């Protein structure tokens, strides 16, 4: 195994003795027999009191079966001398090899995931409603995962199909084999059916090998309805993460399960982007912020570790539980670039994890190992089915169309495409707005797979817009339109602004020296060069996610005279085809519609 795949140090911690009578690290060490960490205890008549259990975990795969490209396929490592370097990482062919090698010599090993295994997936998976990813996860021997927000992109019924199997209700079967569904349980403890008040899937699951039992509770972020289309969460209620975990921890304890791991699709933000950053420096949890910190501080001490996700960041931290004792909180970035290897020392006498002995580290899924042949075959089979659709040219560009920046050329291009489509659907359409989180990638000028420089294929367009949202038209007053723009930087978006990408005919000034809603300079807003009339009615094109009030844009959920059109990828492909050719490629937008003052 190359040195880059295993950092030199593993995060460990020791608990001090508490008034409640917890053993000190020294006391625990003296209690451990010589074979305490010898695996299954071979060579002795009886198993030892303490048994190491290997917990392998990852999160936010998003259907990335093939090695992700660009920065999405790299991780940053800080070396011993303080310098940093990037390492190419990811791809399930390599992830399978790394996980299988990591399991060697560990008879007690369980693999768990932190949600968003599917959704916003590349063409090879997304085109087939993520059946290929579920098949890959089965081959990876995933034992259990929580749901993430993206598991609801196509609604609860489709999530149930991924769990239980069966052909897609609209598209049918893609091969001559019936899709069998996930071999592993999806957990959704805090996602309730509005009618029954019960979880839509299992709230918890217990892994057991011989006399060792560990319970897993799975939750997604309570704010899922704000970042998923309204149709995807229709009829569902999302409850508080902490309250839910604490509730089911008690349920597990009543069943005699004392060792508990929470799988939480919510995350944090470490102070460094390096995957091996010490986020316990100078003190426990000092180097991490974000929602997961408050969750970790309030989840019952009965839970022994938290596997998290959602923020696509990498960390292995200890955050004190409500009793003041450190507890491991981990995340393995995204797209299969990392996996976390955590050792949980199980005490057979108490049935609980001896948290004095927990250790954990993130490891890089390097691409210098042998590819797993079964994964190579799976990818090849699905690529063969996808190729006729994915390789079809839909347009031409004169240069890269970037998806980065407060206002991005790619975001503007999508807005222009939706505006043009909206005008075809209803000539009264006045403008279009695109949410930045829906722009999943840019377009690259350099040829891919030999299609020629500047050619945009359907597969590349799919990578940019994989959500299958529809383009919706709605009416708003001018006052509501101004309020929408202010919601970019106020309310739930005040701390982390979400700047909508506008069609070419909408301009305004964003003054970042101000705070809250005042950052949008009202007097600067111009539509077709004219001030917006608060009393007038404007027809606005958005995707269905925004039309449902997603991303904190509650006013966009109040539109009237809703007209639903085609899917957003079709609108983009249509626009590229109509406005470009090999002889006259499309020039990327200049991204100058929003004047930014800093």
Residues 395 and 371 in one domain: no
Distance between CA atoms of residues 57 and 343, nearest Å: 11
Sorting pLDDT into bands at 50, 70 and 90, what band is 24? very low
Query: What is the C-alpha to C-alpha distance for residues 505 and 550, in angstroms, rounded to an integer?
Result: 23
Residue-level pLDDT at 28: 45
Task: Out of 342, 375, 408, pick the residue that ends a domain.
Answer: 375
Instruction: Examine the pLDDT at 356 and tell me if it is beyond 90.
Output: no
Together in a domain, 345 and 420: no
Asked which of 103-112, 276-285, 337-346 is least confident by mean pLDDT, the reply is 276-285
Residue 48 to residue 36: CA distance in whole angstroms: 6
In this structure, the answer to whether residues 300 and 432 fall within a common structural domain is: no
Averaged over 278-299, what is the pLDDT?
95
Same domain, residue pair 407 and 267: no
The verdict on 584 and 555 lying in the same domain is yes
- List, for residues 446-503, the tens digit of each pLDDT value: 987 667 899 999 999 999 998 878 899 999 999 999 999 999 999 999 999 999 999 9
Number of domains in the chain: 2
Say if residue 162 is in the same domain as residue 309.
yes
pLDDT in tens, 176-235: 889 999 999 999 999 999 999 999 999 999 999 999 999 999 999 999 988 888 888 999
Preceding amide of 282 cis, omega within 30: yes
Same domain, 190 and 310: yes
Q: Is residue 453 part of a domain?
A: yes
Q: Indicate whether 316 pLDDT > 80.
A: yes
1 domain-assigned: no
Same domain, 353 and 463: no
Residue 74 domain flag: yes
Pair 371, 480 in one domain = no
Report the mean per-residue pLDDT for the chain. 91
Write the burial class of residue 170 (CB in 10 Å: 0-12 exposed, 13-18 middle, 19+ buried): exposed
Under the banding of pLDDT at 50, 70 and 90, the label for residue 30 is very low
Tell me 512's DSSP state: T
DSSP code of 104?
Answer: T
**C-alpha triplet 57, 58, 62: angle, nearest 5°:** 150
Regarding predicted confidence, which is higher, 3 or 481? 481
Give a yes or no: residue 404 inside a domain.
yes
Specify whether the CB–CB gap between 403 and 442 falls below 8 A: yes
Split at pLDDT 50, 70, 90, the class of 21 is: very low
Asked whether the beta carbons of 337 and 89 are under 8 A apart, the reply is: yes
> 333 and 481 share a domain?
no
**CATH number for the domain that contains residue 55:** 3.60.21.10
Task: Check pLDDT > 70 for residue 27.
Answer: no
Return the CATH number at 528: 3.90.780.10
Whole-number Å distance between alpha carbons of 289 and 287: 7
* Within-domain flag for 12: no
Kindly state whether residue 20 falls inside one of the protein's structural domains: no
User: pTM of the entire structure?
Assistant: 0.81
Looking at residue 470, its pLDDT comes to 87
Does residue 19 fall inside a structural domain? no
For residues 438 and 504, membership in a common domain is answered with yes
Tell me how far apart the alpha carbons of residues 325 and 245 are, in angstroms, rounded to a whole number: 18
Q: Is residue 61 part of a domain?
A: yes
Q: At 506, is the pLDDT very low, low, confident or very high (cuts 50, 70, 90)?
A: very high
Average pLDDT over residues 57-85: 93
- Would you place residue 46 in the very low, low, confident or very high pLDDT band (cuts 50, 70, 90)? low
Domain termination site, one of 321, 347, 375: 375
Residue numbers of the domain that contains 447? 391-597
Final residue of a structural domain among 375, 401, 430:
375
Stretch 148-164: mean pLDDT: 96
Q: What angle do CA 54, 42, 57 make, to 5 degrees?
A: 5
| Whether 267 and 231 share a structural domain | yes
């Amino acid at each position: 195994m190359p040195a880059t795949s295993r950092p030199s140090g593993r995060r460990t911690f020791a608990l001090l003795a508490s008034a409640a009578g917890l053993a000190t690290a020294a006391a625990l060490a003296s209690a451990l027999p010589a074979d305490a960490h010898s695996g299954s205890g071979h060579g002795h008549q009886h198993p030892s009191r303490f048994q190491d259990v290997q917990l392998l975990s990852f999160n936010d795969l998003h259907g990335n079966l093939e090695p992700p490209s660009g920065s999405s396929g790299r991780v940053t490592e800080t070396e011993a001398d303080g310098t940093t370097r990037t390492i190419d990482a990811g791809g399930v062919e390599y992830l399978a090899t790394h996980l299988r090698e990591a399991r060697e010599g560990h008879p007690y090993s369980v693999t768990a995931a932190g949600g968003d295994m599917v959704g916003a997936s590349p063409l090879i998976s997304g085109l087939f409603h993520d059946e290929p990813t579920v098949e890959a996860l089965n081959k990876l021997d995933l034992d259990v995962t929580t749901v993430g927000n993206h598991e609801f992109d196509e609604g609860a019924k489709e999530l149930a199909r991924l769990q239980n199997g069966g052909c897609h209700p609209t598209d049918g079967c893609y091969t001559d084999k019936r899709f069998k569904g996930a071999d592993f349980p999806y957990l959704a403890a805090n996602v309730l059916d509005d009618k029954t008040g019960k979880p839509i899937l299992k709230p918890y699951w217990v892994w057991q090998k011989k006399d060792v039992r560990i319970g897993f509770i799975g939750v997604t972020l309570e704010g899922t309805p704000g970042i998923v289309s309204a149709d995807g969460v229709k009829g569902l209620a999302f409850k508080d993460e902490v309250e839910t975990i604490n509730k089911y921890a008690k349920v597990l304890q009543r069943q005699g399960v004392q060792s508990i791991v929470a799988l939480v699709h919510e995350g944090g933000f470490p102070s460094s982007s390096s995957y091996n950053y010490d986020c316990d420096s100078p003190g426990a949890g000092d180097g991490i912020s974000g929602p997961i910190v408050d969750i970790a501080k309030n989840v019952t001490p009965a839970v022994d570790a938290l596997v998290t996700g959602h923020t696509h960041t990498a960390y292995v931290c200890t955050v004190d539980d409500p009793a003041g004792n450190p507890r491991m909180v981990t995340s393995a970035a995204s797209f299969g670039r990392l996996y976390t290897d955590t050792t949980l020392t199980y005490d057979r006498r108490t049935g609980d994890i001896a948290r004095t002995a927990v250790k954990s580290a993130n490891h890089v899924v390097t691409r210098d190992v042998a590819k797993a042949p079964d994964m190579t075959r799976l990818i090849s089979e699905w690529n063969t089915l996808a190729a006729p659709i994915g390789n079809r040219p839909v347009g031409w560009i004169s240069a890269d169309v970037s998806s980065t920046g407060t206002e991005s050329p790619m975001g503007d291009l999508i807005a222009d495409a939706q505006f043009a489509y909206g005008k075809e659907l209803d000539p009264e359409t006045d403008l279009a707005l695109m949410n930045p989180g829906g722009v999943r990638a840019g377009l690259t000028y350099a040829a891919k797979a030999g299609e020629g420089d500047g050619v945009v294929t359907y597969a590349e367009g799919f990578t940019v817009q994989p959500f299958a949202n529809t383009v919706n038209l709605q009416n708003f007053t001018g006052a509501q339109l101004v309020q929408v723009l202010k919601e970019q930087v106020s309310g739930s978006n005040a701390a982390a602004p979400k700047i909508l990408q506008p069609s070419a005919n909408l301009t305004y000034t964003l003054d970042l020296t101000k705070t809250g809603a005042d950052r949008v300079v009202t007097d600067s807003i111009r539509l077709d060069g004219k001030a917006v009339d608060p009393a007038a009615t404007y027809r606005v094109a958005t995707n269905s996610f925004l039309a449902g009030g997603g991303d904190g844009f509650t006013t966009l959920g109040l539109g009237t005279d809703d007209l639903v059109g085609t899917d957003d990828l079709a609108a983009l492909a249509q626009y590229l085809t109509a406005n470009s050719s090999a002889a006259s490629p499309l020039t990327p937008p200049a991204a100058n519609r929003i004047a930014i003052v800093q």
